[in-house]
Amino acid sequence: MPCTLITGSASGIGAAAREALVAAGHDVIGVDLRNAEIIGDLSTAAGRAQVIAAALQRCGGRLDGLVLCAGLGAQVQPPSLTVSVNYFGAVELLDGLLPALQRGAQPAAVVISSVASAHLPWDRNPLAAALEAGDEAKAQAVVNGAGPQGGNLAYAGSKNALTVAVRRRAPAWGRAGVRLNSVAPGATETPLLQAGLDDPRYAEAIQKFIPPLGRRAEPAEIASVVAFLMGPAASYVHGAQIVVDGGIDAAGRPTQF
């Protein structure tokens, strides 16, 4: 039975991914702030180190799968928390758990990014240099100093950098024998989305963010793609970002892909 670690496992896409992977025969170790096998806070370096140590202990240093779903939205204050969880809470676990994945059977990892990762190009991402350098304090200072735009910058900038981090790891991870991909959901019916709808700063923009299919995704629809990427049917899919957004990216950027 594959042993798979899932962050953000208590709600939203993480909970749906847990259900899908359990149904596919995985032994899942969940990570979240509550209601999980590992209780951990990915917003701090110490919290991330604690999660990595606990995961290695629980899996005996051998992991078959990793699904990183934990994330925060643009409405979170201060916006530095969004950068810490969305970016550092993913890349530090990727790097810290790669040796355990190398010992696994047909190992694979999936990172939940966002369709917003393409809304702020890397060469115009104000967070790019700090995040690529691993300078968490500098990235936090940039978003906290961005005023009313700090939340949007923290979200789009962190997700853009996260997708770049996944793609840049593809050569080394391929040589290590571990498949690594990202999924870019559009608006999905989760507690995170509802928190944005409840915030007057973001409610109108979210309400207008309706794709060609005419509805938001259900978490299970994103989780089904995660389950595919984690399974043998995706054995040659590596370094890819799979957009699952009901067509909104195609509608907004038909000539960019």
pLDDT tens for 81-127 read 999 999 999 999 999 999 999 999 999 999 999 999 998 999 999 99
Q: What are phi and psi of 3, to 5 degrees?
A: -100, 120
> Does residue 156 or residue 206 have the better pLDDT?
156
Predicted model pTM:
0.95
Domain ranges of the chain: 3-245
The 8 Å CB, 24+ separation contacts for 165-172 are 165/87, 165/90, 165/91, 165/94, 165/131, 166/94, 166/111, 166/113, 166/239, 166/241, 167/239, 167/241, 169/94, 170/238, 170/239
Does the domain spanning 3-245 belong to CATH 3.30.470.10? Answer: no
Res 198: pLDDT: 78
Query: Mean of the per-residue pLDDT values for the chain?
Result: 95
Residues with catalytic annotation?
155
Residue 18 pLDDT greater than 90, yes or no: yes
What's the pLDDT tens digit per position in 199-240? 778 777 777 778 999 999 999 999 999 999 999 999 999 999
Residue 250: other Cβ atoms inside 10 A? 14
d(CA 246, CA 211): 5
pLDDT of residue 195: 75
